[in-house]
Structure 1
Amino acid sequence: MLVFWDERLVLFSVPKTGSTALEGALAPYAALVIRNPPQLKHAPCYRYRRFLRPYFKQAGGVDEMETVALVRHPIAWLSSWYRYRYREELIGHPNSTRNVTFDDFVIEYCKGKPAPFANVGSQARFLTIDGDQIGVGHLFRYEAIDKAVAFFEERLGQSITLNKRNVSPALDTPLSADVEAKLRDKCDGEFAIWEAGQS
């Protein structure tokens, strides 16, 4: 998470959405850079509203900071998680996807309590508050990250160059039509939040 105090902006760090690359480019201009612990770096909207927003208001008398986040297409997001957990260093770990297909990974993800290897959270839960209300003022699709860059360039008055960081290994992750249909049925909120992003 990055906080731009003078500009009254907060950038959320949604896992596997390119936020690490964006944060790497923007960190020199931020007043506050939260990298650790992960629970703070990846604080979701509801936790920000409960704990950090009141603190920021008390510290600076600001009623509301503008909030920004990226969201990734659910299938691409899950593919990135699958590939990230396919790494050799995770072989033998409960989070490893080395011995499962991408179809099996997505089927497991759709369960209420998935196995550790498919327990990767939810973009919809991260980005919503009070049920299904979007919790950020500026939501950009990962697939149109250039618009997020342009937004920050305008607000910060700086030219921004992204460098790839925390990239998942290259790996084909085909998804069968029936499993995709199941994902869309069971996790429709994930698709709805992506549809709400600026493209």
Structure 2
Amino acid sequence: MLVFSKAKLVILSIPKTGTTAIETALGPSAAIWVQDPPDLKHAPIYRYNRFFRPALEKFVSPDIQTMAVVREPISWLGSWWRYRQRPFMEGKANATHGISFDDFVEAYCQGKPPAFANVGSQANFLKPQPNGTSIDLLFRYEDQPKLLAFLEERLERPITLARENVSPEIPVALSPAVEAKYRRKCAAEFELYEGIA
């Protein structure tokens, strides 16, 4: 998570949406750069609302805005599946070695997914809170020019992003039946992404 007090902007970091590259490029110039522990680095809207929002609205601005990057849901799961196939993960409970992408998505769709498919939810990460706190600005991971144009204008500086925290290059293919199940069981993921203007 990054906080820019002058720009009145908070960037929330959904895992596997390119936010590590954004943090690497912009972190040194941020007023606050939350790097660790992961539960705070990747604070979802409910955690932001509870622990960060009150202080930021008081000490930075009551008009501070939040933004996040959302990835197309199949691509997002594909990135997780590939990421958990890095060599050093072999033998760990959350590794995906020997697990097809179909099986990974099937497991993700379960009510309580096994460790290897327990990767959270972009929709839950951004779920609006009862007090009205919600994400202000959403950008598609796949539309980097729009994201960068916004950040450059808001932060008043040129920005170059490097590739960071990259998943292994492995082909991702999802069968039509499993894709249909994913779209049905996790409709909120697709509604969130498709609702971004």
TM-score (norm 2): 0.95
Query: 1:177, 1:77 → 2: CA distance?
Result: 17
- Partner residue in 2 for 1:116: 115
Counterpart code for 1:43: A
- Partner residue in 2 for 1:48: 48
Unaligned runs of 5+ in 1: none
Unaligned runs of 5+ in 2: none
Q: 1:35-94 CA distances to partner (integer Å, 9 max, x unpaired)? A: 00111100001111121101212334x223111100000000000000000111111100
- My pick for the range that moved more, 102-111 or 42-51, is 42-51
Query: 2:133, 2:111 → 1: CA distance?
Result: 22
- Partner residue in 2 for 1:75: 74
TM-score (norm 1): 0.94
Misfit runs of 4+, over 3 Å: none
- Partner residue in 2 for 1:182: 181
Query: RMSD between aligned alpha carbons?
Result: 1.4
Query: 2:156, 2:54 → 1: CA distance?
Result: 28
* Residue identity (%): 52
Counterpart code for 1:23: E
Tell me the CA shift for residue 123 of structure 1.
Answer: 0.2
Q: 1:74-118 CA distances to partner (integer Å, 9 max, x unpaired)? A: 000000000000111111100010021000000000001000000
Counterpart code for 2:11: L
Counterpart code for 2:78: S
Contact 1:139 1:196 survives alignment (8 Å) = no
Contact 2:49 2:133 survives alignment (8 Å) = no
- Partner residue in 1 for 2:7: 7
Contact 2:45 2:125 survives alignment (8 Å) = yes
